[in-house]
Amino acid sequence: MSRGRVRRAAGSPVAAALVLLQAAVLALSPGCDAAAVTTDAEPDYREALSKSLLYFEAQRSGRLPYNQRVRWRGHSGITDGLQQGVDLVGGYYDAGDHVKFGLPMAFTVTMLSWGAIEFGDDIAAAGEWHHTLEAIKWGTDYFIKAHTEPFVYWAEVGDGDTDHYCWQRPEDMTTSRKAYRVDKDNPGSDLVAETAAALAAASIVFRGSNPHYSHILLHHGQQLFEFGDRYRGNYDISIAEVRGFYASVSGYRDELLWAAFWLHRATGKEEFLRYAVDKADCFGGVGWAMTEFSWDVKYAGLQVLASKLLLDGDPQGERHRVVLERYRAKAEHYLCACLRLNNGSNVDRSPGGMLYVRQWNNLQYASSAAFLLTVYSRYLAGAGARLRCPDAPAVPPSELLALARSQAEYILGRNPLRLSYMVGYGPRFPAQVHHRAASIVSHKANNRFIGCMQGFDHWYVRKRPNPNVLTGAIVGGPNCRDEFRDDRTNYVQTEACTYNTAPMVAVFARLHNLSATAAEEGCRPGTALGLSAKCK
> What is the secondary structure of 95-134 as a DSSP string?
SSS--EEHHHHHHHHHHHHHHHHHHHHHHHHTT-HHHHHH
Q: What is the pLDDT of residues 230-253, one digit of tens each?
A: 999 999 999 999 999 999 999 999
| Cα–Cα distance measured from residue 17 to residue 9, given in angstroms and rounded to the nearest whole number | 13
Q: In the predicted model, what is the mean pLDDT of residues 456-478?
A: 95
Q: How confident is the model at residue 290 (pLDDT cuts 50, 70, 90)?
A: confident
In this predicted model, which residue has the larger pLDDT, 30 or 52? 52
Which pLDDT value is given to residue 41?
65
| Cα–Cα distance measured from residue 345 to residue 290, given in angstroms and rounded to the nearest whole number | 10
Which pLDDT value is given to residue 524?
55
CA angle 205/152/8 to nearest 5° reads 70
| Cα–Cα distance measured from residue 297 to residue 252, given in angstroms and rounded to the nearest whole number | 9
In 3D space, the residue among 346, 338, 258, 246 whose CA is nearest the CA of residue 296 turns out to be: 246
Which pLDDT value is given to residue 198?
98
| Cα–Cα distance measured from residue 415 to residue 125, given in angstroms and rounded to the nearest whole number | 28
Mean pLDDT estimate for the chain: 90
Which pLDDT value is given to residue 323?
97
- pLDDT surpassing 90 at residue 521: no
- The residues near 138 (Cβ < 8 Å, ≥ 6 apart) are 56, 60, 90, 91, 92
- pLDDT surpassing 50 at residue 87: yes
CA dist list (Å): 226 to 113, 184, 196, 229, 274? 21, 11, 9, 5, 15
Q: In the predicted model, what is the mean pLDDT of residues 353-377?
A: 97
Beta carbons of 232 and 189 less than 8 angstroms apart: yes
| Cα–Cα distance measured from residue 303 to residue 468, given in angstroms and rounded to the nearest whole number | 40
If 0-12 CB within 10 Å is exposed, 13-18 middle and 19+ buried, where does residue 510 land?
Answer: buried
Q: In the predicted model, what is the mean pLDDT of residues 423-434?
A: 98
3-state secondary structure of 196: helix
In 3D space, the residue among 88, 87, 89, 93 whose CA is nearest the CA of residue 73 turns out to be: 93
Beta partners for 100? 157
- pLDDT surpassing 60 at residue 477: yes
DSSP state for residue 291 in the 8-state scheme:
S
Beta carbons of 263 and 269 less than 8 angstroms apart: yes
Residue 292 C-alpha from the chain's centroid: 12
- pLDDT surpassing 90 at residue 17: no
- The residues near 35 (Cβ < 8 Å, ≥ 6 apart) are 351
Instruction: Compute φ and ψ for 13, nearest 5 degrees.
Output: -60, -35
Q: How confident is the model at residue 107 (pLDDT cuts 50, 70, 90)?
A: very high
- pLDDT surpassing 70 at residue 526: no
Q: How confident is the model at residue 39 (pLDDT cuts 50, 70, 90)?
A: very low
Instruction: Compute φ and ψ for 283, nearest 5 degrees.
Output: -100, 5
3-state secondary structure of 481: coil
Which pLDDT value is given to residue 16?
33
Residues marked as catalytic: 434
- Percentages of the chain per state (helix, strand, coil), in multiples of 5: 50, 5, 45
CA dist list (Å): 107 to 191, 199, 202? 9, 10, 12
Q: How confident is the model at residue 452 (pLDDT cuts 50, 70, 90)?
A: confident
| Cα–Cα distance measured from residue 235 to residue 95, given in angstroms and rounded to the nearest whole number | 20
397-411 vs 498-520: helix crossing angle, rounded to 10: 120
Q: How confident is the model at residue 519 (pLDDT cuts 50, 70, 90)?
A: confident
Which pLDDT value is given to residue 525?
52
Q: In the predicted model, what is the mean pLDDT of residues 499-526?
A: 86
In 3D space, the residue among 466, 428, 59, 117 whose CA is nearest the CA of residue 455 turns out to be: 466
Give the lowest-confidence range in 343-357, 451-465, 467-481: 451-465
Beta carbons of 447 and 397 less than 8 angstroms apart: no
CA dist list (Å): 127 to 53, 123, 447, 479, 512? 12, 7, 35, 35, 11
Q: How confident is the model at residue 22 (pLDDT cuts 50, 70, 90)?
A: very low
Residue type (1 letter), 73: R
- pLDDT surpassing 70 at residue 31: no
| Cα–Cα distance measured from residue 171 to residue 486, given in angstroms and rounded to the nearest whole number | 26
Beta carbons of 168 and 458 less than 8 angstroms apart: no
- Find the radius of gyration of the CA atoms of the chain: 22
Beta partners for 356? 348
Q: What is the pTM of this model?
A: 0.92
| Cα–Cα distance measured from residue 337 to residue 369, given in angstroms and rounded to the nearest whole number | 10
363-383 vs 102-125: helix crossing angle, rounded to 10: 50
Which pLDDT value is given to residue 13?
32
| Cα–Cα distance measured from residue 155 to residue 242, given in angstroms and rounded to the nearest whole number | 9
Give the chain's length. 536
Q: In the predicted model, what is the mean pLDDT of residues 184-206?
A: 98
Q: What is the pLDDT of residues 368-421, one digit of tens each?
A: 999 999 999 999 999 999 999 999 989 999 999 999 999 999 999 999 999 999
Map 437-477 to HEC letters.
HHHCCCCCCCCCCCCHHHHHHHHHCCCCCCCCCCCCCEECC
Give the lowest-confidence range in 26-30, 139-143, 199-203, 268-272: 26-30
Beta carbons of 164 and 97 less than 8 angstroms apart: yes
Q: In the predicted model, what is the mean pLDDT of residues 126-130?
A: 98
Percent of the chain scoring above 90 in pLDDT: 83
